[in-house]
Structure formats: C-alpha cells, structure tokens
Structure 1
C-alpha cells in the first residue's frame, strides 16, 4: 500500500514539474556593450530598497542565435531589463529565448512567471512607445534619457506590481502590492511613465516580444520578427516547388 502511494506521489510530482517547465524556443549569444539612453532613479522593488541605479535601455552585441534567436539580427540590439534581482552578465553569454509570461527567471521571487496579462501589457507598452533611437549609439538628448528611464520604470511596474483592476490605477510612484513584492520609484519623469501605462487598453499595436533569460544574469525583453507558421509553411512549399522544377528539367 505504501509503495503504491509512493509511486502515485512520484507520478504526480513528475507531472507537476512537466506542466510548469519553461518552454525554450531557442538561444541568443551576446555580450553586454553598455547603456543606451539612460538616467538615474531611485528604486524600491525586486529586492532593491531605495537604491539609486542607472536605468534605461541597454545594448548588446549579438553574435549567434538558434531557433527563434535566429530572427534577431546579429550586431547591436537594444533590450530592457525585466529582472531586478540579478546583475547584467559580463562577457559573452548565451540566453534562452522564452515567452515573456514565463519570465523573469528564477521565478521564485514572483512565485512563478509574470503571466499572460502582464506579458500583454508589456507587448502593448513596447508597441506604442519603444523608440529605437534610445539604442542608436552616440550622444543621447536629455529627453531621450528621460523617456528611456520612464519606459524602464513602466516595465518594472508591470512586472513586479499586481495587475490593477483598470489601467488608470498604474502608478510608478506607489507600491500597491501587499507583502514583499511590488514596485515604486522616485527621481524620474513619473508623469510620462504613468501616462504610458494608463493608455494601455489593449487597442494599441502589440510588439512580438521574447524574453532573453540566463540563470545567474539579468533577464531582458526584446522585440523579434518571428514569422507566422503559415508564412514558414509557404516558404517551405516554395522551396519544394523550385526544387521539383529543377529536377523536372
């Protein structure tokens, strides 16, 4: 009897692990090259307690990719951090490509991935307000720095705060989440961050985001142009037809 119970418990545990396993869609190999447009603000949340940190867009040099990672061009790429618990990894590192709702990893702080609702908010935030000029290199204007900083604060507000009952209740200056989670910040253009967050009503453009995750280093979000399955199927069919014609000749 005890043996049967033990076996059943082991099967249930195995099924639980499989259900909660994070699907990896590929890899991206890259190395950190510095901040893009950025500024300094004070942060509470994700393990930080009133620390003044440099915040904004980050740039990496991507050198290789597999799976979905192939759809991110090699060279300089711009990303935003979704992981306050860890530091930016130095040197060349390989990151797993996962869906934003499954990150950031490790998931112990949030008690799991951020979830689909937050991932959708991030997608619309990026689709509406991300500016590639924040990672274009060279000198950044004061306004670009403030906007990139506000964008980063909005990202962390979404990741670490509980989802409010309506977008109008997002507020980067107030920690509205009970317990040790939540997020708030000061010394930033909070009006812009809050304005962007409160406009996210599901009707704006949605970016096709992926999270780049490396256990032991910060996780990031980045936009990728992932072809739809139907597009891939048509491309494969086209190659097949071309090959068939060549054989016929």
Structure 2
C-alpha cells in the first residue's frame, strides 16, 4: 500500500486541477489488461450484462500539457460504451464533476476514489483478479452508496475471487487522507469517461525533480 503526504497531495491536486482547466487529451484505447469478464447489473437495466472489467490501456495521440506516451485508466461511466483501437477526445475534468452528462458524483464519492487509488492502484496492475477488482470497486463507489457489490442498486458477479477482493478493498475505505491520491477525470460526450492519475506533477508545479509525492510502504 502507498501512503501519500497529505499536504503535498492536496497542493498537487489543486495545482494540477487549475493547470488542467479546459485542457483536452486525444487518446487511443489499445487494450484492457489486466482484466476479466464479469456480469454487471444496475438500476435502469432489464438484465445482467457481461463486461470486460479491468485496467484500460491508452496511448496519447495529442495532449498540450498533461499526458504523454501510455497511461492507464478506469471507467467511471457504466452507461456508455468504448471500442478498442478507437481514438477519442477527452476533456480534463475534476472528478467531483464527472461523469458527464449529469451533475457529477460529488465530493464524498470523489474522496473514496482518491483513497481507493492511493491504497490499491499498484495492486490493480499485478493480476487479472486485481485489475478487475479495482474496476468493480470504482463502479460500486460511483453507482451505489451502500458499497456492497452483492446487494443494492449496483451488483457484480461472475468471479467470486474477484468480487471478494473488490469488496475487501471497499471495506478498507475509512476516509484516511494519508492515502488520498491526486486523480482526475477524462470526460467525453461520445464514450466512457475515465478516472486517471494526475500526471506530470513536477512539470505542472515547476519544481523539477523535487518529489511532491513521498511514498513509503
């Protein structure tokens, strides 16, 4: 698990959000890995749907400041679709205001996502179970205030190991600001909105090699 210096993370998040205002990112979805197919149901659907659930792997095509090369992201909009090898234009958006269209998830859910990212993002890259579990936990936070993947308005099934891991991670969330990671949303009117880490922190803050995120295990 990774702990974030609270002051540094807060300053970084605010500064990055200001610098990112009105920025766009053009990116191509190359794959979803690590991942697993799970069954999902939510309010407004008349049946379960099987979905590829995991780490979305993008390549940046064009970005004025924030992103270069490849980056990973997690879907925050279950009501949209996305296609592999397609290129999309995203707007950089504070996660409190995403997903769009809509009124946004608000501060409480945004903070849960920050904590989940800080605790388990690196775990999500280690296996199909973990990648799928992280995505399931993200969707649960956004779509169901009960934070229980087996009950409520949003549910997932199909791999007991994956669901149990996601639920364990959800149960850990206690509002500990030491784990809050600087993340933001990429929003689009034509495809799924994405949760991504704040990139280029040193460049955005103009501090060169000074580490604004001090990690310790």
Q: Decide: shared fold, TM above 0.5.
A: yes
Counterpart Cα distance in 2 of 1:161 and 1:101:
16
Deviation digits for residues 18-38 of structure 1, max 9, x if unmatched?
xxxxx9441111111111100
SS at match of 2:30: strand
Question: Could you tell me whether the CA contact under 8 Å between 1:211 and 1:221 is conserved in 2?
Answer: yes
- Helix, strand or coil: the match of 1:171? coil
Equivalent residue number for residue 146 of structure 1? 129
1:53 equivalent to 2:51? Answer yes
- The answer for unaligned runs of 5 or more in structure 1 is 1-22, 135-142, 165-169, 176-181, 236-249
Q: Is the 8 A contact 2:55 2:124 kept in 1?
A: no
- How do 1:1-249 residues align onto structure 2 when only pairs under 5 Å count? 24-45=21-42, 47-48=44-45, 49-66=47-64, 70-72=65-67, 74-89=68-83, 91-107=86-102, 112-131=103-122, 134=125, 144-162=127-145, 164=146, 170-175=147-152, 182-188=153-159, 189-203=162-176, 204-225=178-199, 227=201, 231-232=205-206
Higher helix share: 1
Q: Which has the higher contact order (CA 8 A, sep 6+)?
A: 2
Higher CA-based Rg: 1
Shift of 1:87: 0.8
Task: Provide structure 2 residue ranges, at least 5 long, that are not aligned to the other structure.
Answer: 1-19, 209-217
**Contact preservation (8 Å) 2:25, 2:89:** yes
CA drift at 1:101:
1.0
How many angstroms does 1:132 deviate by? 7.3
The count of aligned residue pairs is 184
Task: Give the superposition deviation at 1:71.
Answer: 2.7
Q: Distance in 2 between matches of 1:120 and 1:226?
A: 21
Query: Which secondary structure does the structure 1 equivalent of 2:127 belong to?
Result: helix
Structure-2 change in CA distance of 1:46 and 1:80 (3 Å): farther
